[in-house]
Structure 1
Amino acid sequence: MRKKWYILQTFSGMEYKVKELIEEKAKLYDKEKMFGKILIPEESEIDLTNKKTDRIVVSEEAQVFVKNGENVKKGDLLAEEPPVIVKNAGIISEIKNFRKIIVETKDKKFTKTFLIPESAKIIGGLKVNSRIHAGIPLAREDGYEADLDGIIISVEKLKRVTIQTENNTKDVYLIFKDNFDSAAFRKGTYVEKGQILGNKRQYKAKSSGKVEIRDFASRKEIIILKTKISRLFPGYMFIEMILNKETQEMVKNIPYVINFINIGGTPVQLKTKEVKALLRLTGEEGYEVKESKLRADYVIGEHVRIINGPFEFFTGKITNIDLHKQTVKVTINMFGRETEVELGLTEIEKID
């Protein structure tokens, strides 16, 4: 007989304990072949109680390896700055240490970048998340004062390398200090066109969370928002099994189990599209993200068809629209109950 999918109702919070007990009992009674996957769908949501965020600032040329809304783990590669390559051959005429400090206003509408030579004797304590006010000095040397109120969002140590080219011009490069080989490149060193002056720079996640990407004219910001795991369907789990009187009673008699979701005492079997959504939600089945047109002329209350993602083939009603994030919330009928899901505007289409 072929295994089929059913919904099991349990005491909320005991889903994983029930899963463990089912697996133990199946093994004890030599019924393991009667059971397949047991799934407890979960989602990560932003933890509003945790205000701490990790933020990295990269150039517009940087390659970003994560997507907006994606969940990442500590140590995952987020982005990579390209190497700094010599444009024109010449001789290094000057190498100076600089500090790049990016300040964002409190309302997050404006930012300003300060490039300060270390020789100006930079004031101590200028660190990420430090507050500064207009008029305060950033260095002991005159001429380096803040001209806005805000919060420091990035501090980087740089090497400012000047090359006197063979064409009698000067090329200036800003290179991350950690990616510059001071032993190989000194004042007076001859460099050729195409030579790597600064190595690639990689940024990895310092903590786990959900990615938020902000695009600006000259940079990108990757923010990691702290998240917490929650059940998508508290008090419910999904079990693949060969259902007969013996296996049904075995599962029902396990502690913390309430019953199978049933109609007239007969457990309800999941529909094909529900199984597909379940497997995609839990990562058991991959899916291809299809290219589709972005349109923003949807209205709340409109019925739409889902054409991408875990809930492909479902239809539902729009309950919320966020044009800034390019997302909508749609209520669908799943597992016999109304469920609200968040989708991108490219994941839905109008129903003619």
Structure 2
Amino acid sequence: MPADPTASPRRGPARRGEFRYVLGRALPFLVIVLATLADVLTPPVERFDRFLIAAPALAAATWSARGTAAIGTLAMAATAVTAAVRGSLHPALLGNEVVLAVVVLAAAVSSHLRQRREAELRQLGAVAEVAQSAVLRPLPPRLGTVDLRLLYEASAACAHVGGDFYKALKVRGGVRIMLGDVQGKGLPAVEAASLLLGSFREAAYTAPDLPAIARRLEASMARYAERAPESEAADRFSTVLLAEIPDDRPVIRLLSCGHPAPVVQRGGTVETVEFSAPSVPVHLPVPVDAPFTVEEVPFGPGDRLLMFTDGVSETRDASGAFYPLERRLRAWADEPADRIPELLRQDLDRFGAHGLDDDTTALLVVRDGPAAPLRRIPSPPLAGSLRT
């Protein structure tokens, strides 16, 4: 385990990116200065002023169109200065300046196009933030008798949403949670995730048990596939983990539809939940008729359950070894629950051969004392829901 788990793994890359940007901004001026000095201080036969043409081309990568034009004008002035020092002010200088002016114009146009493209990307980023807030709303820190702590990282460095999804709802008599992972990435994965989230929001309040919720999820995807068969989302399957924590019993009920098994921590003891008969993923394009099996495991005050996607379980180091999640959680047994998601993110980023290169979601569920009274209109009891 890393010696300093509190050090941010992203600080180094961020600083390197900032250094590269500053270097890119300074490079055109460095070329102008060095080319001018080399041309002035060497014999006239050595023509280093030819390198000045690179200055506006380099400026187009980081400077605005006006800045690029200004740097190009400076390069043209430096060309005239070097020619005057060599005493070679003749018609060839005019030709050199014309060529350099054409390069400056092309560089300024390229800079303008780059800026417009960057503006479009910023706008897309803003749209992605809106999509994230609509599809994946922030989880409350506490629901009923449990505290919730979330880690969510999209695989792309500039992405805001991915194929992972999560939801937790306070229902009559307990809390119900869904965490899942849609096959693939991109907008079709986000669309499929939104469909499953909508179905869960509706079913969680009325379905009598977890198998009924799983059947609702399956039916929702099947209806969508019939209604919009041309949609890429209609062809995606999803692994889903459902959880139910009753208020009046120290247990947690779990149903896995092809999803990685969660890990339970009780004090210094950490173990993976074993499913006797895990179900197939939701909307798997294979005809399977199997019952949904629910596992009920002890879950008393102070116990923690970590639900996660394959971005955690399938992370490998350079040698191909899988991430040792259970060992890490044992080492963090005395850490506050608030710190676990960030410790996990930092450790995964350090452990992975390529950092966090997949959508990564982990939800820590901590069993606390009795639930505080809800300040809302009571809903009718669920028929058979969360009953022993």
Flag whether TM exceeds 0.5 (same fold): no
Between Structure 1 and Structure 2, which shows a larger proportion of strand residues?
Answer: 1
Larger radius of gyration: 2
TM-score range, shorter chain: under 0.3
The alignment's TM-score, normalised by the length of structure 1, stands at 0.24
Relative contact order: is structure 1 or structure 2 higher (C-alpha 8 Å, sep ≥ 6)? 1
